[in-house]
Amino acid sequence: MSVIDILTRVDVICKRYDKYDVEKQRDQNVSGDDAFARAYAAVEADIESALEKVELASKEKSKASAVAVNAEIRRTKARLLEEVPKLQRLAVKKVKGISTEEMAARNDLVLALPDRIQAIPDGTAATKQTGGRMSSAPSASRTAIKFDSGDP
């Protein structure tokens, strides 16, 4: 193992445990009373971690290892998408010392999160689908359907 590999691993481990460092939390001005700021910071850290894993998976030579990392990325994405409704509820809560502009900005941040999470590549070649099986354009036979009102 080279020195560069060791430094890279140490850096990844340090980033992983930064959220437990009380002094860094104080430096970032994340208020202990503000649940939204804490939750959003955790989601941001998880998104950064997932992006680093994507880079790791793309450089991985072993296909099995790359598949395992991609599966972990998909699990992380699913967990992050489950956090979005919680963040939406926290974004609209009144917090002492926060202006209405900041509240609106928080709401905008939360609304942009699902797109950011979905944009994380996870090794699947599936294209983004918007809607279910009936959301496509109606076929010619379906446009010709007429309903009879029942009057003779």
| pLDDT tens readout for residues 58-94 | 888 888 988 999 999 999 999 999 999 999 998 888 8
Query: Does position 38 have pLDDT exceeding 80, yes or no?
Result: yes
Positions of E strands within 25-151: none
Q: What pTM value is reported for the model?
A: 0.61
Domain boundaries, the chain: 1-30, 32-124
Amino acid 97: pLDDT: 78
| pLDDT tens readout for residues 105-115 | 888 989 999 99
The answer to whether the CB of 57 falls within 8 A of the CB of 74 is no
Cα–Cα distance for residue pair 108/116, rounded to 1 Å:
12
For tokens 């009057």, name the residue. 151
Question: For the chain, what is the mean pLDDT?
Answer: 80
Query: Does position 25 have pLDDT exceeding 80, yes or no?
Result: no
Q: Is 115 left (phi over 0), alpha (psi -120 to 50) or beta?
A: alpha
